Amino acid sequence: MALPRHQLSLGGPLIGHIGLGCMRMSDKGPQGDETEAIRTIHRALELGVTMIDTANVYGDGHNEELVGRAIADRRNNVFLATKFGIVRGEGRHGVDGSVANLRQAIEASLRRLNVETIDLYYLHRVDPKVPIEETVGAMAQLVQAGKVRHLGLSEASPKTIRRAYHVHPIAAVQSEYSLFTRDVEQNGVLDTVQELGMALVAYSPLGRGFIAGRFRTGDDLPEGDSRRTTPRFSGDNLAKNQQLADTVKMLAQRKGCTPGQLALAWLLRNVDVFPIPGTRTVAHLEENVAAAGIRLTGDDLTAIDAALPMGAVAGMRYPESQMALLDR
């Protein structure tokens, strides 16, 4: 079946309901196969995936270069999303939403991606030192200059979203959202974006691979993988959360699909939510896209909510140092 398309925001472009997160394509190690990564991006476009998501900080710029090479001869089929605002290296580590950083970041991203225009440009994290009106006002100038088509925010609070919205239309808010992370249902973010006609772009929709059964213990993760330091995936929290993942697996078996497909179908029931599962292989991509053909009944949803009630997952989703960067 063809991947359904929905409007990204009120009056926005029609794009595939499932996107592709590219961050881990730039991970170091034996699985960092650029050839397979580019094959995966090409296959995604063939299947009707249009949103390709990257950021200037992924792989210290390598990910944008990789995506740029992959889409060079098929730019018209891509809704290209990237981000700025997180800074690392050269004595800096944190968030920088300043106008000066924005101006440098956009030019660097355009160069690495080898494009003239970015379809969706996010502020990756909200900078508490810079009024959101100042940052979004400067981002709006990029729209006027033709360098960006639509603006987005990532991990922004309802108050920040509303303040930004009064400066310039915001097409999408990106937040972590999955069966394992349902914060947006409690903190007002989902209600706010729906009220204002925006899309919610759900990153890590497979619980950082946990729901999909990609690993069962911390030792299954490559050395240096950031998930090794995540509270949710260590110690007693990991053991408890593995039981939840096993429950998802059981529910998926009853439905005749994989756990990852069940988790994506749960998100896709809402046309305003666009999950962007990350993968580096064609096989996992095809499995993810097939989730668009799964329809969950009312009984299915009731069983899922009973098995994974809000707050059931143990541990924070980031280490404390990264939690401190979230706009809450």
Annotated catalytic sites, by residue? 58
Inter-residue contact 218 to 212 (CB < 8 Å): no
Which residue type occupies 278? G
* Distances, alpha carbon 229 to alpha carbons 96, 153, 162, 207, 219, in Å: 24, 26, 33, 15, 12
Q: Find where tokens 């593995």 sit.
A: 242
- Euclidean distance between CA atoms 205 and 177, whole angstroms: 6
Contact 210, 180 (CB under 8 A): yes
DSSP letters of 4-73?
PEEESSTT--EEESS-EE-GGGG--STT--HHHHHHHHHHHHHTT--EEE--TTGGGGHHHHHHHHHHTT
Element (H, E) at 39: helix 34-46
